[in-house]
Amino acid sequence: QVQLVQSGGGSVQDGGSLTLSCELSDEATSRYYCMGWFRQAPGLEREGVADIDDIGRTRYVDSVKGRFTVTRDDGKNTLYLQMDSLKPEDSAMYYCAAHSSPGGVCYGSGPTASFIDYWGQGTQVTVSS
């Protein structure tokens, strides 16, 4: 059974930084999964933020490019999201996500919820002005 267990998040002021972590629990390995982050603010649809395939190719939504960095450590089956220069509009519930694929390739033209097989429990990020 695959589980994604998130940690990190919290509250910071405008311009601050936070790091999110997500451990994939599986009998196999994270190497065969595309992994990424989504977020959902109240009243809005869930939005793809960033994803990374098993050879480290990354994709980001335009609003976070240059501020967020997604990385993965397959030895630890762990995904990270470093968030710098945070803005109040980044406030949302953040979800770790993964979908299995041959070679851990990420499907679609960007992080897409319809491809996701597994979701983390979510963690709140709040940025105050």
pLDDT mean across residues, the chain: 93
Determine the pLDDT at residue 67.
98
Determine the pLDDT at residue 28.
57
Give the residue among 83, 93, 114, 96 at the shortest CA–CA distance from 43.
93
Determine the pLDDT at residue 31.
66
SS3 84: coil
Determine the pLDDT at residue 119.
96
Residues 106, 34: contact at Cβ < 8 Å? Answer: yes
Pairing of strands 47-52, 58-60: antiparallel
Determine the pLDDT at residue 29.
61
DSSP label at 70?
E
Determine the pLDDT at residue 103.
81
Determine the pLDDT at residue 2.
86
Determine the pLDDT at residue 1.
77
What span, in angstroms and rounded, lies between the C-alpha atoms of 78 and 72? Answer: 6
Give the residues of the chain that fall short of pLDDT 70: 27-31
Residues 38, 50: contact at Cβ < 8 Å? Answer: no
Determine the pLDDT at residue 62.
97
Determine the pLDDT at residue 102.
86
Cα 35 to chain centroid distance, Å, stands at 7
